[in-house]
Structure 1
Amino acid sequence: MALFDFDGTLYPYETFNILMERLKRHPKYKKNYKRFVRNFAPIYFFYKLKLINKATMQSKAMEYYILSFKKNSRREIESFFKEVAGDMIDDLRAPLIRKIKQLKQDNYYIMLISGAFIPLLEAIFQGYDIDCIVGSKINYDGERLDNKSRFERVYADRKIDIIRQHFAGKEVDWKNSEAYSDSYADLKMLELVGRPVAVKPDERLMAIASRKQWHIHTD
C-alpha cells in the first residue's frame, strides 16, 4: 500500500489559496467570494485574537467556502472544481506522479488522502488509476448543497481513523508500505508504514525525518 497526501506533497502549493484566487477572479462566481468573506470574517477575527486555533479556522474556512455556492447547482459546483483542476494539473510534482505509476505496476494499492474537496481531487486524478481517493466531502440535498449536514475536513488524526477503517479486516503489509507527506500534521500517517517519505517537509517534520533517517524528497 502507498498513502499520499495532496497539499504540499503531490501538489507543491496550498490548494485553498488557489481556490480563493480562482473564486475571487471568476467571472461567474466572484459574487460567491464576497459572500465567503462576509461570512468568514468573524471566524478569522476570533483566530487573530487567539480565541480559536489554526486547525479550527482552516476547517471553518473550507466550510464557508463551499457554503458560498449555496445558490448554485451541483452541476455548477462540480464544473467549477473541474475548471480549477485544469489549472492545477501541470503543477503536480512529476517525480511523485511517476512514482505512483511505478507503484501501480508493482501492485501497490494507492490511497490519496487529503483535506482538499473530493470533486477537485477526482477531477485532477481522473485517469490516474488511483485505488481510493479520500477528501473532504461536499454534502448535497438533491441537486443543491445540504447546508444542514455537518462539514468534516479530513485532517491529521482523522486520516488515521479513515485509513484504519478502510483496511479493517484486510491483510496489509505495513512494513513494506509507503507514505508521502510534507506536514508534521501527518506524522502518525507516516509512522504507520515501514517506508515513510517526507516531501519538502516543514520544519518540525524535517527534524523528525532527519533524526529517524527517513527518506526526504526534495525538488
Structure 2
Amino acid sequence: MKVALFDFDGTLYPYETFNILMERLKCHPRYNRNYKRFVRRFAPIYFFYKLKLVNKATMQSKAMEYYIRSFKKNSRGEIESFFKEVAGDMIDDLRTPLIRKMKQLKRDNYYVMLISGAFIPLLEAVFQGYDIDCIVGSKINYAGEKLDSKSRFERVYADRKIDIIRQHFAGKDIDWKNSEAYSDSYADLKMLELVGRPVAVKPDERLMAIAARNHWQIHTD
C-alpha cells in the first residue's frame, strides 16, 4: 500500500490557521467574550515568549490550549458550529493544484492521510465530502456535551506526527519508497524523510535549503 501524507497549515491551506481563528473569535458577535478570556490567560505566556523564556513551540501549544479552553461555557454543538463557520471562510483559499493532486492520488489507490496541528472539527468541516482515508489533528476533549478543561491538551506537531503515523500503519505493508508527503515546514522534516517522494510546498527557509540539496520536488504558487 502506498500512502500520501498532507500537512494543512501552509500546505493545503496557504495561511496560518490560528491567525484566522483568532480574528474570527475576536470579531464574532456571539463569542467575542471568549476572545477576552483567551487573552487574559495567554498574555503571560506570550510575554515570556517575547523575553525568550518560553520557546516558540511551547508558546504555540499554549495558545491553542487556551484558545479552546475559552469555550468552557459553551456546548459541544456550539463549539463545532463555530468551527464550521470558520471552515466556510477557509475553503475557497485552499491550494487548488494540491487539492487536485490529493484527489488524483486517492483515485490512484493511495491511502490519503491529512495530519495537522489544527483542531479536528475544523479539519473535518473543511474537508467534509472529501474522500480522505484518515484525518488527524489536535483533539478537543469533552465531558458529555461540555468541554473537558481538566484533560491534558495535546497539539499534533513535529515528532508527534511521526509517532502517530507509525502507530497508524503498524503491522501494515507500506511501500514507503513510492509514497508521498507534502509540507511547507522544517518541523515536518521527519515526515517528509519518511517517504520516497517528498514535496516541499512553498517551504520555509530551512526546508527550502534541504529540499534543494536533496533534489526534492518544490511546489510554489
| Fold shared by both chains (TM-score > 0.5) | yes
User: Could you list the per-position Cα deviations for residues 110-145 of structure 1 after superposition, in whole angstroms to 9, with x for gaps in the alignment?
Assistant: 000000000000000011110000000000000000
Unaligned stretches of 5+ residues in structure 2? none
1:103 to 102, 105, 108: 105
CA distance in 2, matches of 1:122, 1:9: 16
Letter in 1 for 2:17: T
RMSD: 0.3
Q: How many residues align?
A: 219
Equivalent residue number for residue 124 of structure 1: 126
Q: Does 1:180 align with 2:182?
A: yes
Equivalent residue number for residue 208 of structure 1: 210
User: Could you list the per-position Cα deviations for residues 126-167 of structure 1 after superposition, in whole angstroms to 9, with x for gaps in the alignment?
Assistant: 111100000000000000000110000000000000000000
CA distance in 1, matches of 2:191, 2:171: 19
CA distance in 1, matches of 2:208, 2:44: 34
How far does residue 21 in structure 1 lie from its aligned partner after superposition? 0.2
2:34 to 26, 32, 35: 32
TM-score (norm 2): 0.99
CA distance in 1, matches of 2:30, 2:212: 47
2:55 to 47, 53, 56: 53
Equivalent residue number for residue 194 of structure 2: 192
2:8 to 6, 9, 14: 6
User: Could you list the per-position Cα deviations for residues 17-60 of structure 1 after superposition, in whole angstroms to 9, with x for gaps in the alignment?
Assistant: 00000000000000100000011011111111111100000000
User: Could you list the per-position Cα deviations for residues 64-102 of structure 1 after superposition, in whole angstroms to 9, with x for gaps in the alignment?
Assistant: 000000000000000000000000000000000000110
Equivalent residue number for residue 143 of structure 2: 141
Letter in 2 for 1:63: E
TM-score (norm 1): 1.00
Report the 3-state secondary structure (helix = DSSP H, G, I; strand = E; otherwise coil) of the residue aligned with 1:40: helix
Matches within 5 A, 1:160-179: 160-179=162-181
CA distance in 1, matches of 2:109, 2:48: 48
CA distance in 1, matches of 2:213, 2:163: 26
Report the 3-state secondary structure (helix = DSSP H, G, I; strand = E; otherwise coil) of the residue aligned with 1:9: coil
The list of structure 1 runs, each at least 4 consecutive aligned residues, that deviate by more than 4 angstroms after superposition, is: none
1:156 to 155, 158, 171: 158
2:90 to 88, 91, 112: 88
How far does residue 180 in structure 1 lie from its aligned partner after superposition? 0.1
Letter in 2 for 1:98: R
